[in-house]
Amino acid sequence: MIVERVRSIDPEGHESARDVRLGDGDERVDGRGLVALPGLVDLHAHLREPGFEESETVATGARAALRGGFTAVCAMANTVPAIDAPGLVAELVARGHAARGARVLPVAAITRGRKGKELADLVELARAGAVAFSDDGDPVEDAHVFRMALEYGRSAGRPILEHPQDRSLSRRGVMHEGRVSADLGLAGIPAAAEEAAVARDLAVARLAGARLHLQHVSTAGALELVRAAKRDGLAVTCEVTPHHLSMTDAWVAGSRAFVWEDESSTGVPYDSTTKVNPPLRTEADVRALWSGLVDGTIDAIATDHAPHASIRKEVEYAEAAFGISGLDTALAVLLMAVQAGMGDIGSVVRALASGPARVLGIAPYADDAVLVDPTAEWIVGADALASKGKNTPLLGRRLRGRVVAAVVGGEVRYRDDGALKGRRRGHAEAIARG
C-alpha cells in the first residue's frame, strides 16, 4: 500500500511528511494523523521457548512483538535448557522464520548453562546465528569470567549484554528499597545493588578493552556512571525499559498513575504484576532516565518483555516471579510519555531503531516499517494482548497509540483492516457520491 502525506520518522529520529510505500500493492491510504516509523528493534525479550511454553512461545512472542510495532526481537537465553549450544540457536532461528511475525534474533548464553562458570562456545554460537550473548536473569558474578567473556566475545564479533545486579546487596528483595518498601514491609532491593554492579562492569570493560552493553538500567546513579564512562571514551552502551520510564515504586502500593500524571487512578497494593527486576524505582530515577534518553546516554529502549503464566503470578508478592509482559504496550506507553512532554519523539524512535541496531552492530532493517495511529485509544484487556503473558500492571487501563500495520522485509505481516478501512483513497469519495 502507499500511505499518503504521512508524518514519517527515520531510524535516526528525523521527521518528514511524505508518501510511504508499505509492501506491495497500489492501495492508497490517507496517512494524515498517522505516523510511519522504521521497523523497531527490541533488544530484550523473553520468548520462554524452550521450557516455559505456557508463558510464551517463539510464535506468540514474535506475533506480540509485531503487534507492538517491533519488527525484530532479541530472544533471551534463560530458557530450559539455556541457549548455550549452536543447535539450540539454529532451532530458534528456524522457529522464528516459521512464526512469520517479527524477526527473531537469538541471544545465546555467555556461560555454559548460564551458570557463570565457563564460557559457552561463543564463536560457534555466533556462527549458528546468535546476535549477542547474555546470561540475563543473572549477572556474570565472577569478575574474571566476565573479563574473559568480554575479551573472548570480540572474536565472535558480537556484543556482551550484561544484567547488572549485585546479588549480595539485592538479596531476597522484591521491590525498590525506599520509603514505599519500608511502609509496605517488603524486602528492598537498594539502588546500590545495580550501581555497584555497573561500576564493576565498567571497570572490567575498561580492563578488557572491549565493548559492553548494560541491560535495563534503572537508577539515576547507574545512569550517571554510564554517562561518565562514555565521556571517558569507553565503548559502553545501555538500555532502559518502558516501565522504568513510566512507573514508580508507588505502583507496588497501588498507584496506577504514570509519572507524568496526577495521582488519581489507584489499584490494590501488593499486586504482583508490579514485581519486576530491576524493580520500579522512584520518580527522580524515572526523570533522570528521560534526560539520559534525550541526551543520548541511553542508546536503546528495550521491553524486557517477561511473560508469565498466571500460576507464577497469582501468588503472594514475595513468591511471585519477577517480570512484566511488555511487547504489546511498550509503544503506546512511550507515545503517551512523549505527548505528555517527557521527551521528544525523535529520541524515542532513535532508541527503538538505530540505537539498538548499533548495539548489535547491524544496519537498521531498511525493508521494515510500522504504521501507527498515535491517537487510537484502547483498553488493555487480556484479550487485547497478543502475548500469552497477561502480567502487566496496565491491565484495565486505557492507552493511546496503536499499530495499524507492520512490514517485515517488504511484506505486510500485520494490518488492522478495521483501522485502515476508512482511510482508503476512494473510500471517502465513494461515500460522498452516495
Q: Which residue among 185, 341, 418, 426 contacts other proteins (CB under 8 A)?
A: 185
Give the range of 139-147, 284-292, 311-319, 388-396 binding other proteins by CB under 8 A.
Answer: 311-319
- Which among 84, 201, 304, 328 is annotated as catalytic? 304
**CB nearer to other proteins: pick between 317 and 322:** 317
Please, which residue, 235 or 318, has the CB nearer to other proteins? Answer: 318
Interface region with other proteins, contact rule CB under 8 A, candidates 5-13, 182-190, 354-362, 383-391:
182-190
270 lines the binding site for other proteins (CB under 8 A)? yes
Q: Quick check: is 304 catalytic?
A: yes
Three-class HEC string of the chain: CEEEEEEEECCCCCEEEEEEECCCCCCEEECCCCEEEECEEEEEECCCCCCCCCCCCHHHHHHHHHHCCEEEEEECCCCCCCCCCHHHHHHHHHHHHHHCCCEEEEEECCEHHHCCCCECCHHHHHHHCCCEEECCCCCCCCHHHHHHHHHHHHHHCCCEEECCCCHHHHCCCCEECCHHHHHHCCCEECHHHHHHHHHHHHHHHHHHCCCEEECCCCCHHHHHHHHHHHHCCCCEEEEECCCCCCCCHHHCCCECCCCCCCCCCECCCCCHHHCCCCCCCCHHHHHHHHHHHHCCCCCEECCCECCCCHHHHCCCHHHCCCCECCCCCHHHHHHHHHHCCCCCHHHHHHHHCHHHHHHHCCCCCCCCEEEEEEEEEEECCHHHCCCCCCCCCCCCCEEEEEEEEEEECCEEEEECHHHHHCCECCHHHHHHHC
Which of 181, 255, 325, 391: binder of other proteins (CB under 8 A)?
A: 181
Handedness of CA 326, 328, 332, 334 (dihedral sign): positive
* Closer by beta carbon to other proteins, 181 or else 237: 181
Closest approach, Cβ 318 to other proteins, in A, equals: 5
- Which residue number, 285 or 328, has a Cβ lying nearer to other proteins? 285
Per CB under 8 A, the list member of 11, 153, 188, 389 interacting with other proteins is: 188
Residue 183 is a binding residue for other proteins (CB under 8 A) = yes
Q: How far is the CB of 188 from other proteins (least distance, A)?
A: 8
Q: Which is nearer to other proteins, 50 or 269 (CB)?
A: 269
Pick the binder of other proteins from 39, 129, 164, 190 (CB under 8 A).
190
Among 98, 315, 366, 382, binds other proteins (CB under 8 A): 315
Closest distance between other proteins and the C-beta of residue 174, in Å? 9
Using the rule CB under 8 A, is 251 a contact of other proteins?
Answer: no
Among 89-97, 197-205, 268-276, 345-353, which window interacts with other proteins (CB under 8 A)?
268-276
- Cα diameter, the chain: 75
Report the nearest approach of other proteins to the CB of residue 319 (Å): 6
Distances (CA, A) of 332 to 113, 211, 303: 36, 32, 12
- Give the binding-site size for other proteins (rule: CB under 8 A): 22
Which range touches other proteins (CB under 8 A), out of 34-42, 139-147, 316-324, 351-359?
316-324
186 in contact with other proteins (CB under 8 A): yes
Interface with other proteins, residue 226, by CB under 8 A: no
Any contact of residue 311 with other proteins (CB under 8 A)?
Answer: yes
Which residues are known catalytic residues?
304
**Residues in touch with other proteins (CB under 8 A):** 177-179, 181-188, 190, 268-270, 311, 314-319
